[in-house]
Chain A
Amino acid sequence: MTGITARIRNLFGPEMAGPGFAFLAVMLFFGIASPQFLSGATFGSVAFQLPELGLLTLAMLLPVLTGGLNLAITFTANLAGLTVAWVLQANGGVDAGIGAFLLGCVLAIAVGAATGVVMGLVIAYTRAHPILVSLSMMIFVRGLGEFLTRGGDVSGFPAFLQPIGHGSFLGIPIPLLIFIACVLLWHVLLTRFKLGFNTYMIGSNIEAARYSGVNTRKVIVLVYTLSGAMCAVAGIIMLARFNSVRVGHGESYLLITVLACFLGGVNPFGGFGRVIPVFVALVVLQLLSSGLNLMGANQHLATAVWGILLLAVMILRWLAAQLMIFNRRKG
């Protein structure tokens, strides 16, 4: 019995309480307020919207765990999307074959990873602040993308891309399947690999980790590289979803990914946080905006409610911590 609870705690960690509670609250509120909420349609829309924000949040998560940040995620994703688009166009545009698409994906991931390698090297060796380094990279990638596209859209892709953005497999949207696969990948990486273990240690105290024999520079470079590669996956999904690529796509997601991490119980200063609670936090955010949508609220209002929810979570977390201290004193 204790074995099972220990295993559950291991999987979700203490970080699960906040997003778990928010999930129940959102389900309860909209379940009562709107009869159509608990329907397949809601979950269908959540399932298609979740992956874009979700993949970008995964890209943000690793640097945040090391106590850093990657502000270049959305533009890196679009630059990777552009890489795919150009490879497709160079190979016949609408008539391009599946081979060209796969080549494009490989190159896109290489481009994403390359931005990460550069950021990681600069952060690891110069010890410059990750905010400044990734901000510089963001400005570079955005400028480069706008220069290459003249600020416009790139579109005209082969028809076989359609299912990647809109199709379903066994009733589950394909973007969601890709996202869930990435969530599991990140979960295994963080719990079963030395790299994951060291990511947490570096996030809490990089010098102490170095004194314990952790190759801190290698870990930092790998973390940003993986972050960049995950951006590329997000970029490919966005290309398939919108059937076009533009440098500014999904720009508003940037800060929401940071907040989704915190809603998922990730410590803003690094060292603590798990993937599964972050996943639940993302579901909560999407349910919230779908629910409000259903009740006829404006999309912009939904964004405002996200902000309020996050503030409420911070306050509740503080209250919970106070309560715990109080209980400890009593005991």
Chain B
Amino acid sequence: MAEIKNPESGVTPLLSLRNINMTFGGIKALKNVSFDVRPGEVHCLAGENGSGKSTLIKIITGVYRPEAGAVIDYDGQTHSHMSPVTAQAGGIQVIWQDLALFPEMTVAENIAFHSLVGRTPRLVNYGQMREVAIKALQRLGVTLDVDAPLKDYSIAQRQIVAIARALIGEAKIVFMDEPTASLTQSETDHLIGIVRSLSASGVAVVFVSHRLAEVLEISNRLTVLRDGALVGVYPVEGMTQSRITELMTGKSFDQQVRAKPVEGNPVVLEVKGLTRPGQFEDISFTVRRGETLGITGLLGAGRTELALSLFGMLKPRSGSVTLEGKPVRFSSNRDAIKAGIAYLSEDRLSLGLIQPQSIADNLAIASLDRIKSGGFLSDERKRRLVAHWITELGVKIGRQSDAVSTLSGGNQQRIAIAKWLATDPKLLILDAPTVGVDVGARAGIFEIVARLAESGLAIILISDEVPEVYFNADRVLHMAQGQMAGWFDPRRSTLQEIEAAVYA
């Protein structure tokens, strides 16, 4: 059989795909893609949603069969397609984003059940199961109680369990799908340590991640896909985040700090000594007309709880909130909306929008009183309201009656923003507005945010991605463990200074 050598390095790839094509319902999901992974390397597979990353992984793991002409070389053998059985037996393992674990079962059962399935006699040997699990965890340098149910552990620890499960199958190559999406920085650091030790022991790791900073930190090589086609394979050394973004989107983003002086504008919101024990303490700040106040900090810093308290959905224990000079105290978010405060939820899928319902109804839900005519809801006025905001925010939709779930992440977020703008707010709180939004569409969201600020709206922008607040806010408040940890002015500080403080 043919020996494929990489001309640059002379290393024989462990996995090598050539001429991969895949079509779904008339849409080419992959166009003549090639991809290779060397033994023991950490390789990053990057691309926007819909660029073909998951399709490629599913071809490698045998879930999909590529079109005729494909060549897959793996571990010295050539295949026209993989099957789940050959992939598993050959040591190809995937850790999906949702982990595919059983929360009610013990750690040992989660790790070892796979290796015990399908053996006869069909009896479960718990002793053997524990041994296998303990050995797998030891290899990762982690100690967990293997008899405890998995649900007692954090997401980060569950991820380690998923990795341990992948390793007992004598993995040669492990795919990790967005492994750090729900981890804090220290947990991410720990995971990166584990990936390094895997790599050192000869297991290749393919990272699928949209967090560019850690891609740069961990990977040796980078494969970029765009619209189902291969953009290129690059050494990570010498890469920058903006260069990767450019490769992924095909557009260049020269980000500039948008911060502008707003000290002369009238104060819209004043928060003094706001406290909710256990969540945030003694928070004081002001937001002025036309100002974008950025709030950043790690998960669990109390950012969302603070926002929900301003929005009337949580009750602060002490402190005061003043809106345009008048002290306010809300008993529900309906009061807050009436007073002119809007809150875009961080969880668009389950709290921000009602996914199965129509675009029009999602947009109109918070401003039904504005589409009444003679006391009754008017379809015509609703249609006009929706049409107005769709044009205003440049949302691409089919029909107004289509379910909001049919839209892309970026367009969904625009609908969610439009819902709040339709209530004519004075203060708009945006909680993680780019979660699940493609890199390319993020710029569009911030374009809208800048325009809204220009029109005089006061905005609080909450994000755990420091660059987002750095580039888009006028001032940045750093929160840590429920406390105010520091203020930054993007015009005077560098991004690195803020990141160093936040990720310390």
Residues of A within 8 A of B (CB): 10, 188, 191-194, 196-198, 200-201, 204-205, 207-215, 271-272, 328-331
A271 x B357 contact (CB < 8 A):
yes
Query: A204–B345 contact, CB under 8 A?
Result: no
Most chain B CB inside 10 Å of its own CB: which residue of A10, A192, A209, A271? A192
- In the complex, are the beta carbons of B352 and A208 less than 8 A apart? yes
A/B interface sample: 13 pairs, CB < 8 A: A201-B357, A201-B361, A204-B356, A205-B355, A205-B356, A207-B350, A208-B352, A208-B353, A211-B313, A212-B365, A213-B366, A328-B25, A329-B25
A213 and B337 CA atoms in complex are apart in Å by 7
**Which B residue sits closest to A270, measured CB to CB?**
B356
Chain B 7-32 interface mask (CB, 8 Å, partner A; 1/0): 00000000000000000111000000
- 1/0 per position for B422-435, CB-CB distance to A under 8 A? 01000000000000
- Which 4 A-B pairs have CB atoms at the shortest separation, nearest pair first? A329-B25, A192-B376, A213-B337, A212-B365
Q: Considering the chains assembled together, what is the distance between the CA atoms of A309 and B337 in angstroms?
A: 48
A10 and B382 CA atoms in complex are apart in Å by 13
Q: Which of B313, B334, B352, B354 has most A Cβ within 10 Å?
A: B354
Q: Which residues of A contact B352 (CB under 8 A)?
A: 208, 211
Q: How far is the CB of B495 from chain A (nearest CB, A)?
A: 32
What is the 8 Å Cβ interface bit string for chain B, positions 303-347, against chain A (1 contact, 0 not)? 000000000010000000000000000001110010000010100
Considering the complex, give the chain A residue whose CB is closest to the CB of B336.
A213
Docked pose: A191 CA to B361 CA in angstroms: 12
Contacts of B377 in A (CB 8 A): 191-194, 196-197
Contacts A197-B377, A213-B333, A328-B25 known; A204 to B365 CB distance under 8 Å? Answer: no
- Pairwise interchain contact A197-B354, C-beta atoms closer than 8 A: no
Q: Looking at the complex, which one of A191, A193, A207, A209 makes contact with B365 (CB distance below 8 Å)?
A: A209
Shortest Cβ gap from A237 to chain B (Å): 28
Q: How large is the interface on B (under 10, 10 to 19, 20 to 34, 35 or more residues)?
A: 20 to 34
Beta-carbon contact of B351 and A207 below 8 Å:
yes
- Shortest Cβ distance from B344 into A: residue: A211
Residues of B within 8 A of A214 (CB): 365
Kindly state whether residue B475 has any CB partner on chain A within 8 Å: no
Given contacts A193-B376, A330-B26, contact A211 B357 (CB under 8 A): no
The winner among A205, A210, A213 for most chain B CB atoms within 10 A is A213
Contact between chains at B365 and A201 (CB < 8 Å): yes
Q: Which residues of B, 355-370, contact A by the 8 Å Cβ criterion?
A: 355-357, 361, 365-366, 368-369
A197 touches B379 (CB 8 A): no
B367 shortest CB reach to chain A, Å: 9
- Asked, given contacts A194-B377, A271-B357, A330-B26, whether A205 binds B350 with beta carbons under 8 Å apart, the answer is yes
By secondary structure, the A interface counts as: helix
Q: Is the CB of A212 within 8 A of B366?
A: yes
CB of B81 within 8 Å of the partner chain: no
For A207, list chain B residues within 8 Å (CB).
Answer: 350-351
Kindly list 17 other residue pairs between chains A and B, CB separation below 8 angstroms, not including A207-B351, A213-B333: A188-B376, A192-B377, A197-B377, A198-B365, A200-B361, A201-B354, A201-B357, A204-B354, A205-B354, A208-B350, A208-B354, A209-B354, A212-B419, A271-B357, A329-B24, A330-B26, A331-B26
Q: Which residues of A contact B343 (CB under 8 A)?
A: 211
When distances are taken between beta carbons in the complex, the residues of chain A under 8 Å from B365 are 197-198, 201, 209, 212-214
Chain A residues with CB under 8 Å of B356's CB are 204-205, 271-272
Closest Cβ of chain B to A287, distance in Å, is 31
Q: How far is the CA of A208 from the CA of B355 in the complex (A)?
A: 9
Q: Which of chain A's residues have a CB closer than 8 A to the CB of B355?
A: 204-205, 208
**C-alpha gap A239/B36 in the complex (Å):** 79
Closest chain B residue to A272, Cβ basis: B356
CB distance from B405 to the nearest CB of A (A): 10
The residue in chain A whose Cβ has the minimal distance to the Cβ of B338 is A213
Query: Assuming A192-B377, A200-B361, A271-B356, is B26 touching A211 (CB within 8 A)?
Result: no
Note all chain B residues with C-beta closer than 8 A to A212.
Answer: 354, 365-366, 419
Q: Are A10 and B354 in contact (CB under 8 A)?
A: no
A277 to chain B, nearest CB (A): 16
Chain B residues with CB under 8 Å of A210's CB are: 333
Q: How far is the CB of B317 from chain A (nearest CB, A)?
A: 22
Q: Mark each residue of chain B from 136 to 160: 1 if its CB lies under 8 Å from any CB of chain A, else 0.
A: 0000000000000000000000000
Least CB distance, B22 to chain A, in whole angstroms: 14
- Among A205, A211, A331: residue with most chain B CB under 10 A: A211
**A197 — which chain B residues lie within 8 A by C-beta?**
361, 365, 368, 377
**Mask for B181-222, Cβ within 8 A of A = 1, else 0?**
000000000000000000000000000000000000000000
Contact of A10 among B24, B26, B357, B379 (CB under 8 A): B379
Q: Chain B residues near A329 (CB, 8 Å)? A: 24-26
Considering the chains assembled together, what is the distance between the CA atoms of A271 and B354 in angstroms? 10
Q: How far is the CA of A207 from the CA of B348 in the complex (A)?
A: 12
User: CA separation between A272 and B379, bound complex, in Å?
Assistant: 17
Complex Cα spacing A95 to B377, Å: 46
Nearest B residue to A267, CB-CB: B356
CB distance from B418 to the nearest CB of A (A): 12
Q: Report which of B25, B332, B351, B357 forms a contact with A204, defined as CB distance below 8 A.
A: B357
Contacts of A331 in B (CB 8 A): 26
Distance (Å) between the CB of B332 and the closest chain A CB?
A: 7
Residues of chain B within 8 A of A328, CB atoms compared: 25
- Interface contact A215-B332, CB-CB below 8 Å: yes
- Judge whether A200 and B357 touch: CB under 8 Å: yes
CB neighbours (8 Å) of A200 from chain B are 357, 361
Contacts of A271 in B (CB 8 A): 356-357
Are A194's CB and B354's CB within 8 A? no
